[in-house]
Structure 1
Amino acid sequence: MSRKDRMAELDNAIGDLTATRAARPASPRSAIPIVNQIESVFQDSAKELETLRDSGRVLLELDPADIHSTQYQDRHVAAFADAAFAMLVQDILRHGQLAPVLVRPAADGQGYELIAGHRRTAACRHLGRKVVARVMQADDRDLLIKMVQENEARADISAYERAVQLKTVLDTGLMSRAELMERLDFSKGHLSNLLKFAELPPTVIAALDDPRPLKISDGAKLARLMAESEEAAARVEQVAADLSGKGADDNLSFSARLRALMAAAQGEPAAEPELAGERVIRSRTGQVLVRLSLHEGRPILRLAAGLPPQALDALFSQLPDALRRCGLDVPD
Structure 2
Amino acid sequence: MAKRGLGRGLAMLLPEAAEISQGQVREIDIAAILPNPYQPRTLFDPVALEELAQSIREHGVLQPILVRETDSGKFEVVAGERRLRAAQRAGLTRIPAMVRACSEREMLEVAIVENLQREDITPIEAAKAYFRMMREFGLTQEQVAQRVGKTRTAIANALRLLQLPEEVQESLERGEISEGHGRALMMAERPDAILRLWAVVKSRGLSVRETERMAKAARQAISPSPAPASPPDPQIQYIQERLQGALKTRVALHFASSGAGRIEIFFYSLDELERLLDHLVPQEG
TM superposition score category, shorter chain reference? 0.5 to 0.7
**Compared with structure 1, are the counterparts of its residues 135 and 66 closer, same or farther at alpha carbon in structure 2 (3 Å cutoff)?**
same
- Any idea what the Cα deviations from partners look like across 1:257-297, whole Å, max 9, x if unmatched? 999998996787xxxxxxxxxxxxxxxxxxxxxxxxxxxxx
Is there any run of 5+ residues in structure 1 with no aligned partner, and where?
Answer: 1-54, 244-251, 269-332
Identity %: 26
Letter matched to residue 153 of structure 2: G
**Compared with structure 1, are the counterparts of its residues 263 and 94 closer, same or farther at alpha carbon in structure 2 (3 Å cutoff)?**
farther
User: Is it true that 1:89 corresponds to 2:53 in the alignment?
Assistant: yes
Q: CA-atom RMSD, angstroms?
A: 3.9
Matching residue within 100, 115, 126 for 2:78: 115
**Compared with structure 1, are the counterparts of its residues 218 and 258 closer, same or farther at alpha carbon in structure 2 (3 Å cutoff)?**
closer
Q: Write the mapping of 1:1-332 to structure 2, written as runs, cut at 5 A.
A: 58-77=24-43, 79-81=44-46, 83-106=47-70, 108-129=71-92, 130-207=94-171, 210-211=174-175, 214-215=178-179, 217-222=180-185, 224-225=186-187, 228-233=189-194, 235=196, 239=199, 255=205
Rg: which structure is higher? 1
Compute the displacement of 1:193 (Å): 0.9
Instruction: Name the structure, 1 or 2, with higher relative contact order (CA <8 Å, separation 6+).
Output: 2
Is there any run of 5+ residues in structure 2 with no aligned partner, and where?
Answer: 1-18, 219-285
Give the Cα separation in 1 of the matches to 2:204 and 2:57.
Answer: 31
Compute the displacement of 1:95 (Å): 0.5
Give the Cα separation in 2 of the matches to 1:212 and 1:161.
Answer: 15
Matched with 2:254 is none
Count of paired positions: 197
**Compared with structure 1, are the counterparts of its residues 184 and 230 closer, same or farther at alpha carbon in structure 2 (3 Å cutoff)?**
closer
Give the Cα separation in 1 of the matches to 2:98 and 2:174.
Answer: 31
Give the Cα separation in 1 of the matches to 2:122 and 2:31.
Answer: 27
Give the Cα separation in 2 of the matches to 1:213 and 1:254.
Answer: 12
Q: Is the 8 A contact 1:167 1:198 kept in 2?
A: no
Q: Which range moved further: 256-265 or 137-146?
A: 256-265
Give the Cα separation in 1 of the matches to 2:84 and 2:204.
Answer: 28
The SS at the match of 1:131 is strand
Compute the displacement of 1:166 (Å): 1.9
Letter matched to residue 66 of structure 1: A
Give the Cα separation in 1 of the matches to 2:86 and 2:207.
Answer: 30
Compute the displacement of 1:70 (Å): 2.3
Q: Is the 8 A contact 1:161 1:212 kept in 2?
A: no
Q: TM-score, normalised by structure 2?
A: 0.55
The SS at the match of 2:97 is strand
Q: Is the 8 A contact 1:141 1:175 kept in 2?
A: no
Compute the displacement of 1:85 (Å): 1.9
Q: TM-score, normalised by structure 1?
A: 0.48
Give the Cα separation in 2 of the matches to 1:61 and 1:201.
Answer: 45
